[in-house]
Structure 1
Amino acid sequence: MAFRPPAASKRQLDGVSFDQAVDFAPDARKKFADKDRQPGNKDPSKCKVLLKFPDNGAGPGAVFWSSKMAIDTDGPSAGPGRLNGKALDPSSGQNDTSLHLANGKGLPSEIIPYIVLPELQSGSSRTFNPAVALGDVAIVIFKDKTAAAVCGDLGPFNKIGEASIRVHEALLQQDCPDPCSKRNDKGFCLRARNSSIEQDVLYFVFPNSAFAADELAVETINTKIKERAFGLYNKLRGAS
């Protein structure tokens, strides 16, 4: 039976043929479900489906899932007057990301839209499935808003659904509040909000869509991500 997406996202999904997608990475999905069932888990992934769209020549292949979306602050400071990931989230933030820019630095969560891929196993540098890789571009949809992103970080093997501050800002609306609980007078984030969008965030990752390492410059990366991700998504749904 084909996946039935949320009615609130219908317009953004126009042309996407979910009946062509097949179940994908069942072992990974089981890990997410097992973690959700653990007593005391206050931030379940709620991964309702994990699918793969075929690359059939008419459109690009894609890996898709529906889950929650937590806030990932990982990465260095986005510039003068801004905080690094650890300062934004003292409980779990880090000052680096798995994907690096051409200058060797990680992706600043405040200014670069990235999502997190689960690692294959605890401590692994590999993603949960070889079909998706760090650097691949993605589309993230929540209700009637859409954002382009890059797969920029690795996270726990038994959880899925996490994105940078910038992605949350792009999807800002009711049920997707400001990802920062405190900002300074310039609007810079001082503390990340300890919350998630609980469910029905839709992720499309496009395999083999990564940029060459020397193309990942902070000055141009957002434009490149947007152009490539939306271009591939429009092909997937048969739009011009």
Structure 2
Amino acid sequence: MIRAAIYARFSSNLQREASIEDQVRLCSERARRERWSVTQTFTDMAISGTSANRPGLQSLLETAARGDLDIVVCEALDRLSRDQADIATIYKHLGFRGVKIVTLAEGEVSELHVGLKGTMNQIFLKDLGAKTHRGLRGRVEAGRSGGGNAYGYDVVRRLGADGDPVKGEREINPAEAEIVRRIFRDFADGASPIAIAHALNAESIPGPRGKLWRDTAIRGHRTRGTGILNNELYIGRRIWNRMRAT
């Protein structure tokens, strides 16, 4: 009997966790119709298809390398990867082991599918990146955060008039704000970032994300504008797109 493995993936920004169950169910139905024996199911949750470093995908490739598979079944070719080079590598790797790829959308995948779909996925990703960048720029120009969060601020979670979550709003965390002021005062008085970090840890004051304070979190990087002392947000200036602009 033909041994089949199912692969399913969803991206955190595009789909929901139930999507994995839906993909597996549909692929299982296809396998039953073809009378293939599904021996294993591999999944990657909330991981972008632009990265090949996914636990589920790597386990699938390792299983194929051991000669334990005949067919890989997935919903569509872009579930395996959206990167043109990666999908070609995956196809070549599986093909070398004699493993076919069958998708619900394309059927049995050939080199033609890999070339055309890979190109289409690259165009999609480029367009998605442009739209995301445009959306973030609009958010920043409206006075909100373009992403991430700085120590001393909390993310505001509320719904807008349209019922959708409002993104990019921040509010001051009073307790953390006082620590920020202390860091600037101590540094102005001559204390080094290392000394400041040691003092905060000695008083059991949680650092960013609840971790211990490190001198790097305090001094950061001047060019990149990171760290407490180099983040211009603390003087009322919001900087966005710094690294892309340079």
Q: Judge same fold: TM > 0.5, yes or no.
A: no
In the superposition, the TM-score normalised over structure 2's length comes to 0.21
The structure with more radius of gyration: 2
Q: Specify which structure has the higher proportion of helix.
A: 2
Q: Which has the higher contact order (CA 8 A, sep 6+)?
A: 1
